[in-house]
A = this chain, B = another copy of it.
Amino acid sequence: MSERTPQLGSGEILCAEIITIGDEILRGEIVDSNKALMSERLHDVEVETRFHTSVLDHPGEMADAFRRAVSRADVILVSGGLGPTRDDLTTEVLAETFDRKLELDEASLETIRRFFSNLGREMSENNTKQAFFPQEAEVLANPVGTAPGFMLEVEKGEGRVALIFAMPGVPRELSLMLEEQVLPRVLRRMNHGANPNGGRAMRARLLRTFGLGESSLDAELQHFARDAEMELGFRTAFPDNYLRPVVRAASAEEAEARLEEACRHIRDHLGDVVYGEGDETMAAAVGRLLTEHGATIATAESCTGGLVAEKLTEIPGSSAYVMGGVVAYANEIKAAQLGVPEALLEAHGAVSEPVAAAMAEGVRERFRTDFGVSTSGISGPDGGTPEKPVGTVCIALARKGAETHVERFVFPLDRIRHRTLTAQVALDWVRRSLLGIELVGPSLLRRRGGAAPPAAGGDRK
């Protein structure tokens, strides 16, 4: 890049648009996960994606989308429509829209020919099409497929340009081209002073919470200062809620420091409702704490049917602390495999505090672990009684050297969500126990007696 490199962007943070092309996307035949991948990687290099657009394999609508993107974005990622068939139109339409001729690139043609001969096949004539590119385009190699991509620099007026990257739609090919060809080119342009914003930095972090509803979280954080430099995003991923502080600052150091401060502020207000950061799931957080304490666990599940064990063992390395568990769906199994006294089952029924406690204690004893966790409930849709309606569940945690904790809840949710929430409460109790903090249920849902428990974060400020 020389000093003559035209300016990319308008002086703010670089703005991107992602355009994916293909009838199959608009018909809903595929979930277009390429967009999330591209957005995430752009976000990582501090380019802000402002628009996602998908259009049919239709020249007029493709051209409209390309023109609009150039008018409002600095970096434009296009995927799809580079294949050999008649309905693959991206290259032609880009060339026509931005007044370029199509030119054959001999090197690309040779590469495509070799790709086929390596597979022991003859190149079909229509693959020749994939070696044509708009004039002045820079070819982007595709080592895992036949369709090379390309970069096109387009004038936006006022001495500024936009960069258009055309990539194949096959996720594996796109992913590799994005990493190896596209992002390095974007970064190079950002770092060559072509963009006065090259110095500005953005930092973000995902904080994972469990136990408070979205509006309660929002209320708890109402004094959190928000402006153009400091955003706070909310997202629900049942049964969790995620918070995402995003900070912009003049330097990476300053952004990092302000983000750290924001996260501290949030944790101070919400306390242990924040259980993890980034991609650390509840089961991973529990696993980390069990490992730190050198403790072991076993599960005794009725209504969750294996979900708690499944979540715990999904984590790599979990065999160090998970001994195993029993899915005790039938009452005979609760008695035979967990040693729950028949008399207890008869007196209180399977969905009761005494039985849940006996299950947790039974599995802890038989599996010789530090923790034993149990669930017994009615996830529905059938099986409720006036006294124990559908949604009733008893959860128990048996612990070495401490009393067994057991509670009854009513979660008025469908079967899947009932199981999901029950499993998360069980795991959260193990986490809370290891942290030495109060075992509370989710405030979003009713506890026995009808009164909501105190907001898990609200009473500790």
Find out whether the CB atom of B367 lies under 8 angstroms from the CB atom of A333: yes
Find out whether the CB atom of B215 lies under 8 angstroms from the CB atom of A124: yes
Expressed in whole angstroms, the minimum distance between the Cβ of A277 and any Cβ of chain B is 14
Expressed in whole angstroms, the minimum distance between the Cβ of A285 and any Cβ of chain B is 18
Task: Kindly report which residue of chain B lies nearest to residue A302, judged by CB atoms.
Answer: B324
Q: Does A103 contact B (CB under 8 A)?
A: no
Residue numbers in B under 8 Å from A76 (CB-CB): none
Find out whether the CB atom of B329 lies under 8 angstroms from the CB atom of A323: yes
Contact of A52 with B49 at beta-carbon distance under 8 Å, contacts A87-B233, A381-B316 already known: no
Expressed in whole angstroms, the minimum distance between the Cβ of A279 and any Cβ of chain B is 11
Expressed in whole angstroms, the minimum distance between the Cβ of A123 and any Cβ of chain B is 9
Interface residues of A in 180-232 (CB under 8 A from B): 204, 206, 214-216, 218-219, 231
Q: A48-89 toward B: CB 8 Å interface, digit per residue (1/0)?
A: 111111111010010000000000000000000001111100
Task: Kindly report which residue of chain B lies nearest to residue A308, judged by CB atoms.
Answer: B306
Q: Does A95 contact B (CB under 8 A)?
A: no
Residue numbers in B under 8 Å from A33 (CB-CB): 31
Find out whether the CB atom of A323 lies under 8 angstroms from the CB atom of B330: yes
Residue numbers in B under 8 Å from A156 (CB-CB): none
Q: Does A292 contact B (CB under 8 A)?
A: no
Contact of A35 with B40 at beta-carbon distance under 8 Å, contacts A53-B52, A326-B337 already known: no
Find out whether the CB atom of B309 lies under 8 angstroms from the CB atom of A327: yes
Expressed in whole angstroms, the minimum distance between the Cβ of A316 and any Cβ of chain B is 6
Q: Does A310 contact B (CB under 8 A)?
A: yes
Q: Does A322 contact B (CB under 8 A)?
A: yes
Contact of A121 with B444 at beta-carbon distance under 8 Å, contacts A39-B28, A310-B306, A415-B316 already known: yes
Find out whether the CB atom of A50 lies under 8 angstroms from the CB atom of B61: yes
Residue numbers in B under 8 Å from A336 (CB-CB): 366
Residue numbers in B under 8 Å from A52 (CB-CB): 20, 25-26, 32, 52-55
Q: A1-36 toward B: CB 8 Å interface, digit per residue (1/0)?
A: 000000000000000000010011111111111011
Find out whether the CB atom of A51 lies under 8 angstroms from the CB atom of B49: no
Residue numbers in B under 8 Å from A20 (CB-CB): 52
Find out whether the CB atom of B218 lies under 8 angstroms from the CB atom of A84: yes
Please report the total number of A residues contacting B with Cβ < 8 Å. 106
Interface residues of A in 316-373 (CB under 8 A from B): 316-319, 322-330, 332-333, 336-337, 366-368
Task: Kindly report which residue of chain B lies nearest to residue A27, judged by CB atoms.
Answer: B43
Q: Does A159 contact B (CB under 8 A)?
A: no
Task: Kindly report which residue of chain B lies nearest to residue A86, judged by CB atoms.
Answer: B218
Find out whether the CB atom of A244 lies under 8 angstroms from the CB atom of B329: no
Contact of A41 with B29 at beta-carbon distance under 8 Å, contacts A54-B51, A61-B50, A170-B236 already known: no
Query: In this complex, which of A24, A33, A328, A419 has the most chain B Cβ atoms within 10 angstroms of its Cβ?
Result: A24
Complex interface: stretch among A132-140, A264-272, A432-440, A446-454: A446-454
Find out whether the CB atom of A126 lies under 8 angstroms from the CB atom of B215: yes
Find out whether the CB atom of A445 lies under 8 angstroms from the CB atom of B27: no
- Beyond the given A30-B36, A120-B447, could you list 17 further A-B residue pairs with CB under 8 A, ordered by the A residue number? A27-B233, A28-B41, A28-B43, A53-B54, A85-B234, A124-B215, A126-B215, A299-B327, A306-B308, A306-B325, A310-B310, A313-B329, A317-B382, A323-B333, A324-B327, A324-B329, A333-B367
12 A-B pairs with C-beta separation under 8 A: A25-B36, A26-B52, A27-B43, A27-B233, A27-B244, A30-B235, A120-B446, A316-B415, A318-B329, A319-B330, A332-B368, A333-B367
